[in-house]
Structure 1
């Protein structure tokens, strides 16, 4: 595969050996990997470093949200681990996001990308009303994506269905990273807003986060290759 991998495989395991058994079936040229809160809490930085040592680009999905100084130090630590990408919550505000971006720029691995979460893909209108009344998920995403861009970050996590809207105001340099991607006919699980890989790329998504359709497939590499072929 000559072009950059667009699929980020979400490693959601509570067993490091099972995770590595899957990773050993995958190709770093064909995908990137995402490590989230559960795995990082269980297995820590050494687990992440072992994935990087295997040649994978790692998206460290810890969604930092705290006072600016705390988030900046956490993001710098993530960058110096060598991860490809890390994220924060856009609702932490501009000062927090700028502090995080500057900390990465001053780290030993300044190329680490920093993106922000707008509205979690599990949130629908009813849930959002409990947090910010009388704002639609799309309206909140648009507002927070603009705040993220104004803060100098590399992009956002968003739903594929919001990508079309965001591409109206943000060019391709602004990364749109999208969970809730399911191949046609797959179980949607606990995601409320989902889309197929081809539709997502057509909508302007930069990277697709995919978990169970690949990790629980009988042949994970074949499932990944099928997605990559559909995108090609």
Structure 2
């Protein structure tokens, strides 16, 4: 069986940490004032980077990551959920070619006067060029500016604990609340570094690195908090159903 090689260094977690260390070393205004403190911080970052480089190298000798299919196709996900009525919105070939997603669900659910967009992109096995994309790389390019961002947790009946990012974006007079997280096997991850680390750990332990990007969004109606409450209620209603599709 052909081993899976580590990703390019500067796109891996160790590479990202090393880049951050290098940037801090070159640009920190405190360098001349507190050299010992900066040196200690740099030493910690270098040590962590070296450890993660070693772990990433080990993955090069782990058997090829097996592809893990969905338990049920997204096409079977219900269009009607607790009074919400959904409509599919597919992507064109240009977007799909960039996402390199194995399967995806893209819908808008409506329960007047509320609307919620739901996107789930699933990767049976993540590899160079076909990985989960961070929403932070897309929205700013579309003219949306972040107003606020918080990390939250919720215990959803029938699904379990979810750690997620809750953000408010604005574009002109429009505002949108976005909730997202990365689902890696039975773990939820909110950060890009955490995603890379979970990929490494799952690869070593289970010989799999499948994962899903889950994103819910709603235009602000009334106040931000009222829209947040709508999204949280929607999460509780749809996530137990989504669990029937995602692999264990």
TM bucket, shorter chain? under 0.3
Larger Rg: 2
**TM-score, scaled relative to structure 2:** 0.25
- Higher share of residues assigned helix: 1
- Higher share of residues assigned strand: 2
**TM-score, scaled relative to structure 1:** 0.26
